[in-house]
Amino acid sequence: MTEAIRPEHTGTILVVEGNVPFGELIAGVLRSEGYRCETVVSGGCALTSLGSGSIALMVLDYTMPDMSVEDFVATMTTTGSRVPFIIMTGRDDSLLAVRMMKIGAGDFLIKDTTLLDRLPLAVSKTLQEAETARRLQRAMEALQQSEARLARVHRIARIGSWEWNITSNGFVFSNELYHLLGFDPAHHPPITLEWLYSRINPIDQPAIRKAFADAVAECRPLDVVYRIRTASDEELIVNSQGELIADDNGRPCRMIGSTLDITARIRAEEEIRNLSNYDHLTGLPNRNLLQDRLHQAIIHASRTQSVAGVLFLDLDRFKGINDSLGHRAGDLLLRQVAERLSACVRESDTLARLGGDEFVVVLTMVTGEEGISAAASKLLGVIAEPFIVEGHELYITASIGISVYPADGPDALTLMKHADLAMYRAKELDRNNFQFYSSDLNVRVMERMILESALRRALERQEFKLYYQPQVDVLSRSIVGFEALLRWYHPDLGLISPDKFVPLAEESGLIIAIGEWVLQTACRQTKAWHDAGLPPVRMAVNLSTRQFRPNLDQSIAAILLETGLEPCFLELEMTESILMRNVSENMALLRALTDMGCHLAIDDFGTGYSSLAYLKNFPLGRLKIDRSFVRDITSNPDDLAIAKIIIDMARTLRMQVTAEGVEAYEQLELLAGHGCAEMQGFLFSRPLPADKAQQLLRNGLTF
Ligand SMILES: Nc1nc2c(ncn2[C@@H]2O[C@H](COP(=O)(O)O[C@H]3[C@@H](O)[C@H](n4cnc5c(=O)[nH]c(N)nc54)O[C@@H]3COP(=O)(O)O)[C@@H](O)[C@H]2O)c(=O)[nH]1
């Protein structure tokens, strides 16, 4: 309710009266009521006064000297002024009164003897009505603004509202809903439920029809998601929610609701689902989705009494490619591998990438082991074809482990574990082959685990020993060096060969600590022989790939300092493959070692990667001819040719050369005849414990 207006709180009352004394009389009456009052004599003067903005109400004489009331009001309105006014006239004319009220007069007063009594009330009533009208106007404007804001919010949120008349089936859409669907609200024919259905994706239609019908029949709210075609034939995914409104008899007569465009949200959810289910590099299903597919395959096989195969495929020596050609090339290769494998499997099968170079194929509807073997052979076949990556022709192979449902496990986890074990078996068996899981694989894995845990304790229990095998100058028949060779005496298992435990130590990382112990022991022993006045021999120590870490030079320097051995007596043996990894880092490391005074030798030369560029670029001092070339050198001309090439190459590059695995005098003669003077092998001595090696060094060789 509007509060009563107090006269002293209003603006000025303007009396427009050509008869000045009468005008003053009126003003006097109003002033006595507490109003501020001014008088003017014409319409023109009144319009000027209105410009001040302080006029709250006008009391207008109908007969103004310069203009009609109608013209006055029209002019006032065009200037934007909306000041309320009361008309006074000498004519008691009801038609005139109606006309005046129509053009906006707040009251119509006859100039009779009661005028002065009635005037204050008419003024206060008109002021009150004007104030109410003003407040109403402000409220209307606020409402319009809020509606506009809401409409804007709806547009931004892509939400529209609607009302459905259940009896007539007609719909009323909000403008936002029209806009959302791309239609022009001004020119759209009336909307019906059937029209709405016709725009819904046919696949969703039956469910939506049923949802609307059920909501009405069961008097419950509507909440549906469906795809709808816009005016430009774009498909939106929307969520419509509606509430029923009942008539006086409690029967549903209308439904009001909202429709929200959730296309972006659904697409984002799809994207997230994709990311969590697919491998980003190859686009293949990832481990997540594989679990699910494998589970489905198991259910299917169990229902149809058939078998399912799980093929765990791992690329052989992929790391070498990554290390030598870089990760970009590695990624490109993996993509090509994924494409080739995809082409080999049927739609009902699943090919997934677990990460790195590991892929898994789940075969369904296969005819037992023969079918699975055929698929595995095909997979190995496509991998064996050359790949072209960044201009390089690459040849790779893969190892596959296979488990079969139901024979090898009842669930996805067991089948995957068993396929993985079988894959390791395939790797052990020279790679590039496939192996089916067999239960004795578990036994081997257990053995391996036992060995690994024993290996972890071997250092602290002092179960390692170093043996020393002499390296001989056959011309002077003297020992010029020793190679330190590691032995492990396990209290229960006895002597374990380094071939068996060094790879395990490498995989588990234990080789770092063991390798440091080897270096320390070998250097200390050599220094002890020197100090004992024995011939000053050098000591060769094998380094494994894992020991090649940035601080290797520092730890070797510390060992040399601690043991007091001069660096020139230490020779570090490494395989070719070590040099091929992280070439620039290794170069810096090898330079640091040679700058320190240590010597570097390539072990098993000729068996690894065949890039010879490193021979020129790395600071290498010695090549060791692998014993596989020496073994048949007297009978196999190819081995002899290879040995000769290595000897010539070493001479040309001003490097030393040592032949390994010399067991027979004929081998010695042949190698010496071709210029190789340094040798190592059982012919001279087997690897010996320190005291025996010392004896040999003191007493000299007898061969
Ligand atoms: N990273 C490290 N690797 C090491 C260490 N100690 C040894 N090893 C490597 O283990 C592999 C097997 O070594 P081992 O059983 O000691 O065999 C060595 C010799 O006994 C053997 N040899 C020597 N002469 C002959 C021979 O005339 N005939 C023949 N059949 N075998 C012979 O060769 C092995 C030495 O080879 P190499 O190292 O290539 O010079 C072996 O790969 C070792 O390198 C270690 O401390 N760290």
CATH of the domain at 325: 3.30.70.270
Residue nearest atom 13 in ligand 1 by C-alpha distance: 498
Residues 34 and 102 in one domain: yes
Residues 103 and 168 in one domain: no
- pLDDT-wise least confident of 237-246, 288-297, 573-582, 643-652: 573-582
Q: 580 versus 620: which is more confidently predicted?
A: 620
What percent of the chain is modeled with pLDDT above 90?
A: 70
Q: Is the pLDDT of residue 1 over 50?
A: no
Domain for residue 275, yes or no?
A: no
| Beta pairing class for 494-496 and 478-490 | antiparallel
Residues 209 and 121 in one domain: no
Residue nearest atom 16 in ligand 1 by C-alpha distance: 485
Domain for residue 137, yes or no?
A: no
Q: Is the pLDDT of residue 2 over 50?
A: no
Q: Is the pLDDT of residue 609 over 80?
A: no
Structure tokens, 17: 């009266």
Domain boundary among 216, 234, 267: 267
- For residue 136, the model assigns a pLDDT of 84
Q: Ligand 1 centroid to 567 CA: how many Å?
A: 23
Residues 117 and 221 in one domain: no
User: With a 6 A CB cut-off, is 659 part of the ligand 1 pocket?
Assistant: no
- pLDDT-wise least confident of 264-273, 457-466, 506-515, 547-556: 264-273
Between CA 389 and CA 606 the distance in angstroms is 26
Domain for residue 645, yes or no?
A: yes
* Local confidence band at 4 (pLDDT 50, 70, 90 cut-offs): low
Domain for residue 479, yes or no?
A: yes
pLDDT, tens digit (0-9, with 9 covering 90-100), for 26-69: 999 999 999 999 999 999 999 999 999 899 999 999 999 999 99
- For residue 3, the model assigns a pLDDT of 56
Distances in whole angstroms, Cα of residue 554 to Cα of each of 36, 145, 496, 551, 571: 102, 76, 31, 5, 16
Q: Ligand 1 centroid to 636 CA: how many Å?
A: 23
Residues 263 and 289 in one domain: no
Of the candidates 570, 567, 564, 552, the one whose C-alpha atom is nearest the C-alpha of residue 483 is 570
- For residue 373, the model assigns a pLDDT of 93
Between CA 62 and CA 91 the distance in angstroms is 9
User: With a 6 A CB cut-off, is 687 part of the ligand 1 pocket?
Assistant: yes
Domain for residue 144, yes or no?
A: no
Q: 208 versus 611: which is more confidently predicted?
A: 208
Domain for residue 176, yes or no?
A: yes
pLDDT, tens digit (0-9, with 9 covering 90-100), for 175-198: 999 999 999 999 899 999 999 999
- For residue 415, the model assigns a pLDDT of 96
User: With a 6 A CB cut-off, is 485 part of the ligand 1 pocket?
Assistant: yes
* Local confidence band at 675 (pLDDT 50, 70, 90 cut-offs): very high
Q: Is the pLDDT of residue 652 over 90?
A: no
Q: Is the pLDDT of residue 532 over 90?
A: yes
Q: 16 versus 550: which is more confidently predicted?
A: 16
Domain boundary among 267, 297, 321: 267
Q: Ligand 1 centroid to 485 CA: how many Å?
A: 6
Residue nearest atom 26 in ligand 1 by C-alpha distance: 661
Domain for residue 498, yes or no?
A: yes
Q: List Cβ neighbours of 401 (8 Å cut-off, separation of 6 or more).
A: 311, 312, 418, 419, 420, 421, 422, 423, 424, 425, 426, 434, 435, 437
Q: Ligand 1 centroid to 584 CA: how many Å?
A: 28
pLDDT, tens digit (0-9, with 9 covering 90-100), for 211-257: 999 999 999 999 999 999 999 999 999 999 999 999 888 889 999 99
Residues 441 and 531 in one domain: no
| Number of residues written out for the chain | 703
Q: 261 versus 612: which is more confidently predicted?
A: 261
Residue nearest atom 20 in ligand 1 by C-alpha distance: 687
Residues 205 and 85 in one domain: no
Between CA 162 and CA 172 the distance in angstroms is 5
- For residue 611, the model assigns a pLDDT of 57
Q: Domain of 187: which CATH number?
A: 3.30.450.20
Number of domains in the chain: 4
- For residue 627, the model assigns a pLDDT of 94
User: With a 6 A CB cut-off, is 627 part of the ligand 1 pocket?
Assistant: yes
Residues 290 and 403 in one domain: yes
Pocket mutation for ligand 1, best pick of 467, 469, 485, 632 (most atoms within 8 Å of C-beta): 485
User: With a 6 A CB cut-off, is 661 part of the ligand 1 pocket?
Assistant: yes
User: With a 6 A CB cut-off, is 658 part of the ligand 1 pocket?
Assistant: no
* Local confidence band at 660 (pLDDT 50, 70, 90 cut-offs): very high
Q: For ligand 1, what atom is nearest to the CA of residue 682? A: 27
Phi, psi of 80 (to 5 degrees): 90, 5
User: With a 6 A CB cut-off, is 576 part of the ligand 1 pocket?
Assistant: no
- H helices then E strands: how many in the chain? 25, 28
Average pLDDT on 413-442 reads: 86
Between CA 16 and CA 41 the distance in angstroms is 5
Q: Ligand 1 centroid to 662 CA: how many Å?
A: 13
Residue nearest atom 46 in ligand 1 by C-alpha distance: 486
User: With a 6 A CB cut-off, is 261 part of the ligand 1 pocket?
Assistant: no
Between CA 213 and CA 486 the distance in angstroms is 83
User: With a 6 A CB cut-off, is 682 part of the ligand 1 pocket?
Assistant: yes
Residues 219 and 311 in one domain: no
* Local confidence band at 630 (pLDDT 50, 70, 90 cut-offs): very high
Domain boundary among 414, 448, 482: 448
Residues 545 and 658 in one domain: yes
User: With a 6 A CB cut-off, is 571 part of the ligand 1 pocket?
Assistant: no
Residues 559 and 685 in one domain: yes
Q: Cβ distance 375 to 384 under 8 Å?
A: no
Between CA 508 and CA 321 the distance in angstroms is 22
Residue 612, domain extent: 467-699
- For residue 412, the model assigns a pLDDT of 95
Q: Is the pLDDT of residue 333 over 50?
A: yes
Q: Is the pLDDT of residue 443 over 50?
A: yes
- The secondary element (H helix, E strand) that includes residue 19 is none
The listed range with the strongest mean pLDDT (364-378, 616-630, 672-686) is 672-686
- For residue 407, the model assigns a pLDDT of 93
Ordered DSSP codes for 165-219:
ETTT-EEEE-HHHHHHTT--GGGPPPEEHHHHHHHB-TTTHHHHHHHHHHHHHTT
Residue nearest atom 29 in ligand 1 by C-alpha distance: 661
Residues 435 and 322 in one domain: yes
Domain for residue 147, yes or no?
A: no
Q: For ligand 1, what atom is nearest to the CA of residue 506? A: 1
CB atoms within 10 A of CB 121: 11
Residue nearest atom 9 in ligand 1 by C-alpha distance: 498
390 Rama sector, left if φ>0, alpha if ψ -120 to 50, beta otherwise: left
Q: Domain of 630: which CATH number?
A: 3.20.20.450
pLDDT, tens digit (0-9, with 9 covering 90-100), for 341-356: 999 999 999 999 998 8
